[in-house]
Amino acid sequence: MTPAPADGPATAAAPLSGLLSLRDRVAVVTGGGGGIGRAVCTRLAEAGARVVSWDLPGAASGPGVDSVPCDLADAESIHAAFARLDEQHERLDALVHCAGVTRDAVLWKMTAEDWNSVLSVNLDSAFRVLHDGIPRLRAAGGGSIVLVSSINGERGKFGQANYAASKAGLIGLARTAAREVGAFGIRVNVVSPGMIATGMTEELPSEVRRRAVGESALGRLGQPDDVARVVLFLLADASCHMTGQVLRVDGGQLIG
Mind telling me the catalytic residues? 163
Is pLDDT at 211 greater than 90 in this prediction?
A: no
Cα gap 245→20, rounded to integer Å: 18
pLDDT tens-digit series, residues 149-192: 999 999 999 999 999 999 999 999 999 999 999 999 999 999 99
pLDDT tens-digit series, residues 82-100: 999 999 999 999 999 999 9
Provide the pLDDT for residue 12: 54
Domains in the chain, CATH or no CATH each:
19-251 (3.40.50.720)
- 3-state secondary structure (DSSP) of residue 50: strand
Using CA atoms, how far residue 151 sits from 20, 124, 130, 155, 181, in Å, is 26, 19, 22, 6, 25
Q: Residue 190 belongs to what H/E stretch?
A: strand 186-193
Give the β-pairing of 143-148 and 94-97.
parallel
Cα gap 133→26, rounded to integer Å: 12
Q: What is the pTM of this model?
A: 0.91
Cα gap 227→231, rounded to integer Å: 6
Cα gap 235→253, rounded to integer Å: 25
pLDDT tens-digit series, residues 42-96: 999 999 999 999 999 888 777 889 999 999 999 999 999 999 999 999 999 999 9
Provide the phi-psi class of 109: left if phi over 0, else alpha when psi is between -120 and 50, else beta.
alpha
Residues 6+ apart with CB under 8 A from 7: none
Is pLDDT at 11 greater than 70 in this prediction?
A: no
Burial-class residue 256 by CB neighbours within 10 Å (0-12, 13-18, 19+): exposed
